[in-house]
Each structure stands twice: as structure tokens, then as C-alpha cells.
Amino acid sequence: MARRSRKANRRHPLATVLLIAIGLVVTGGGYAAFSSTTAATAETDMSSQQVIDEGEKLFASNCATCHGMSLQGTDDGPSLIGVGAASVNFQVGTGRMPLAMQGPQAMQKPVQFTDEQTAAMAAYVASISPGPAIPDASLLQADGDAANGGELFRINCAMCHNVAGAGGALTEGKYAPELTGVLATHIYEAMLTGPQNMPVFNDDNLTPEDKRDIITYLKYVENNPSPGGFELGNLGPVAEGLFAWIFGLGAIIGLMVWLTAKSN
């Protein structure tokens, strides 16, 4: 009898609730710690001939199979004439290129090249034909007007990327990626160049200041904790409903079973 009683104490429902709470705090905290990123800026002189030559070599060995020796494109990859350094920096800098396999869209992968190598390829592509340049650091400091950025983000971006930048589904297996943890440079370049199925937002649509404001908004959401507690992935009512059913009602049912079980 005494043994059974101790066993019952060990299963104290409050302990379960606390354990769940502690587990969630720990994982949430860990996640928050890992998702904060540091911006690395490559200090490379984009106009130096040495850099361009280095880029040409890298391009010939890594990209030319699909994009052609003179950037003209092939059946396997689009032409890169006029895409500019910004596009190269985005596609290679986020690991989307080189492509691992053909699919609905290029996936983010571990980055294959160093910042210097990426910059060299960008310099080479930009040297063949002009296009959007890598944005100026002054626009990437997340120091603009977050309110304006938020409004523009909701109108121009949220339908695909979700109001909190959690990403969303597109047609035929494509998706708009999550925006948390993405470098300001890459966000800017994506707006400027419209990678893959993302539309282009040129400077007449969203001015450089508008883009800065959007980055400011996204960084505000990313760097400040949600005031109400853990966000449950910012996925909205679906995540909330599942949580209420599984954890909320689950905990309550656990308490119900304890409450109606006969005491030892």
C-alpha cells in the first residue's frame, strides 16, 4: 500500500503541467537564442578586375552548366543577363544556388560559398551586363519607420509570407518562405530582383526608403518577443486550436481522470 501511495504522488498532475511548461520554456528559449543571427558584410571591392576574374572562374565551374558560359541561359536555367549583383548575392548567399535538383522551386540549403566567393561571382555577373546592385548598407540598418513598413508589408507581402513573416503556401507545391532569420540584405535583394516566382518590387513600386521600412518592421517583429508569450509559430488560429485541444483539453482531461479516480 505504501508503495502505491508513493507512486500516486509521483504522478501528481501539477508535476505534469509544470514539466510541460518548463519544457516549453526551455525549447522556446533555445529556439529564440538560435534564431537570432548576426549580419556578416563582405568587404569586397566589386569593381576590381582581380575579383571579377576570380568570379568568372567560379561561375564557369559552378554555374555555367545551366546558365551558359556567357550568361545566356540554357534549357536548364534562365539567362542571367541583367539580373545584377543583387540577384547573385541573394541566390548564392542564401544557398538556393547552385540548385541541388529541379523541383517546384529552389530550396534554401547550407550556403556553398564563402562571402568573398559569392561577392566575386556577383561582381562577375554585374560586369557582363548591368543590373540591380547589392543594396547600400545604410538601407539595411532596420532604423526606418516600422509603422509604414508594417502597412506596406501587409499590402505587398503578407498574402504570401504571412503577417508575421511565417511563410505560406503557393500553387503546385511552391511556397513563400519564412522571413525570420533572413539577413536584411537578402530581404532587400529579394524585393528588388523577384527571385523565382516572387514578383519584382522595383523602386517605383516600393522606394528604397519603403524597402528599408519593411526591413525595419520585419526586424522589429523578429527581435522583439511576442508580448503575449510564445507565438506557437505565428501560424494563427490553426496552431491555437490544436494547442487548445491537445495541451489545454489534454491537461484538463488528465486532471479529470485524477479527480474521479478512487484514492488509494
Please, what is the minimum distance in Å from the beta carbon of residue 236 to other proteins? 5
Which residues, 6 or more positions from 204, have their beta carbon under 8 angstroms from its beta carbon?
Answer: none
Q: How far is CA 116 from CA 28, 50, 51, 120, 130, in A?
A: 34, 12, 9, 6, 20
- Which of 14, 23, 135, 34 has the alpha carbon at shortest distance from 85? 135
> With contacts defined by CB under 8 A, how many residues of the chain interact with other proteins?
86
Residue 15 or 60: which CB sits closer to other proteins?
A: 15
Q: Which of 24, 81, 128, 133 binds other proteins (CB under 8 A)?
A: 24
CB 82 within 8 A of CB 131: yes
Residue 113 or 247: which CB sits closer to other proteins?
A: 247
Residue 113 or 220: which CB sits closer to other proteins?
A: 220
Cis peptide before 227 (omega within 30 of 0): no
- Is residue 101 near other proteins by the rule CB under 8 A? no
- Is residue 149 near other proteins by the rule CB under 8 A? yes
Alpha-carbon distance of 119 to 51, in angstroms, equals: 8
Alpha-carbon distance of 148 to 1, in angstroms, equals: 68
Please, what is the minimum distance in Å from the beta carbon of residue 23 to other proteins? 11
- Is residue 15 near other proteins by the rule CB under 8 A? no
Please, what is the minimum distance in Å from the beta carbon of residue 120 to other proteins? 27
Q: Which of 98, 163, 208, 209 binds other proteins (CB under 8 A)?
A: 163
DSSP 56: H
Report CA Rg, the chain: 25
Residue 135 or 149: which CB sits closer to other proteins?
A: 149
- Is residue 110 near other proteins by the rule CB under 8 A? no
- Is residue 86 near other proteins by the rule CB under 8 A? no
- Is residue 172 near other proteins by the rule CB under 8 A? yes
Please, what is the minimum distance in Å from the beta carbon of residue 46 to other proteins? 23
CB 193 within 8 A of CB 203: no
Angle at 92 between CA 87 and CA 94, to 5 degrees: 100
- Is residue 181 near other proteins by the rule CB under 8 A? no
Q: Which of 77, 98, 194, 208 binds other proteins (CB under 8 A)?
A: 194
User: Which backbone phi and psi does 105 adopt, to 5 degrees?
Assistant: -160, 160
Residue that the C-alpha cell 540548385 belongs to = 99
Q: Which of 64, 128, 174, 208 binds other proteins (CB under 8 A)?
A: 174
Q: Which of 67, 96, 161, 211 binds other proteins (CB under 8 A)?
A: 161
- Is residue 260 near other proteins by the rule CB under 8 A? yes
At 72, the amino acid letter reads Q
- Is residue 202 near other proteins by the rule CB under 8 A? yes
- Is residue 154 near other proteins by the rule CB under 8 A? yes
**In the range 29-58, which residues lie near other proteins by CB under 8 A?**
none
- Is residue 81 near other proteins by the rule CB under 8 A? no
CB 59 within 8 A of CB 70: no
